[in-house]
Amino acid sequence: MPAYNEAENVGNAITRAYEFLDGAGIEDRSVIIVDDGSSDDTPSALESIRSRWPVTVVTHPVNFGYGRALRSGFEAALATGHEWIAFCDSDGQFDPADLAMLMVAARSHRVDVVLGFRANRADNFARRVAGRMWHGVSRIILRYDAEDVDCGFKLLRRSAIASVVNDLQSDYAAISPELLARLGRAGHRFIEVPVPHYPRSSGKQSGLDPKVVLRSFLDLYAVRRELSASPEGSRRGRPFRSNAGLGQRSTTV
């Protein structure tokens, strides 16, 4: 779980993750938080929660960006040796317990990548509009096929992450379309599952910061240039959607 200035949210996210893992009987597990240079009380909140749960904390000395935080998290997760790796934002807009939906989909459809998509996005109008614009532009540029590229709730087999982690280069929001594009080029099929999205109760979102937006587009075009230069640049995975979870999408292949 990446965290940047989430002092009021990260403790509950960790608690919910462990409550789910305990309830599901998953004993071989790790919960990793990447503190991406938080300037609030997030470090103190993490120290406090570590007295209750054995969470692993990866700390960036400065705020490198969402993409770099995910990349650090992937590296730390691969080092655990676990077969499945999930990631979830730590801002409280996803409930780690809903990972059960992704696990069921992975098992029943025998795929290595499960993508959540926000069935009812609990953001304000400006963020929803900006999100759809970013989704449309990045989808055209990197030629992936997915319902909700920026949904921060995904489940991947370690072999899928391992096949692309060394190629990932985006530091900001472009990490999400880059991840899908590289997984597709590597030939991984994925299934999409609708998941609940909850209103943010505290803290501040930073996705519309002008610097973040600009850097995200620069990263996007850098990835496009690299993929276009590769002989496999046009190769795409075989995605399909499922009516698993909330049951609001029909299954297509």
Return the pLDDT at 208.
61
pLDDT (average), residues 89-95:
94
Q: What are phi and psi of 121, to 5 degrees?
A: -70, 120
Tokens representing 169? 């280069």
What percentage of the chain exceeds 70 in pLDDT? Answer: 89
Q: What are phi and psi of 55, to 5 degrees?
A: -75, 145
Please check the confidence at residue 61 and state whether its pLDDT lies above 80: yes
Return the pLDDT at 117.
93
Unique residue bearing structure tokens 């993929």: 227
Structural domain boundaries, residue 34: 2-241
Give the 3-state secondary structure of residue 33. Answer: strand
Return the pLDDT at 248.
34
Return the pLDDT at 240.
42
The H or E element containing residue 118 is strand 113-118
Find residue 33's DSSP bridge partners. Answer: 57
Return the pLDDT at 22.
97
Residue 31, domain CATH: 3.90.550.10
Domain for residue 247, yes or no? no
pLDDT (average), residues 32-51:
96
Q: How far apart are CA 147 and CA 114, in angstroms?
A: 12
Residue pair 1/32 in contact (Cβ under 8 Å)? The answer is yes
Quick: pLDDT tens for 200-221: 877 666 656 788 888 888 888 9
Q: How far apart are CA 164 and CA 229, in angstroms?
A: 17
Domain for residue 228, yes or no? yes
Domain for residue 95, yes or no? yes
Q: Pairing state of beta strands 113-118 and 32-36?
A: unpaired
Quick: pLDDT tens for 101-127: 999 999 999 999 999 999 888 777 787
Domain for residue 253, yes or no? no
Average pLDDT over the chain, rounded to an integer: 87
Q: How far apart are CA 101 and CA 47, in angstroms?
A: 30
Domain for residue 27, yes or no? yes
Quick: pLDDT tens for 178-194: 999 999 999 998 999 99
pTM value is 0.86
Domain for residue 66, yes or no? yes
Return the pLDDT at 6.
96
Domain count, the chain: 1
Please check the confidence at residue 236 and state whether its pLDDT lies above 60: no
Please check the confidence at residue 249 and state whether its pLDDT lies above 50: no
Tokens representing 120? 């009812």
Unique residue bearing structure tokens 């597990």: 29
Residue pair 179/221 in contact (Cβ under 8 Å)? The answer is no
Helices and strands, counts by H and E, the chain: 8, 8
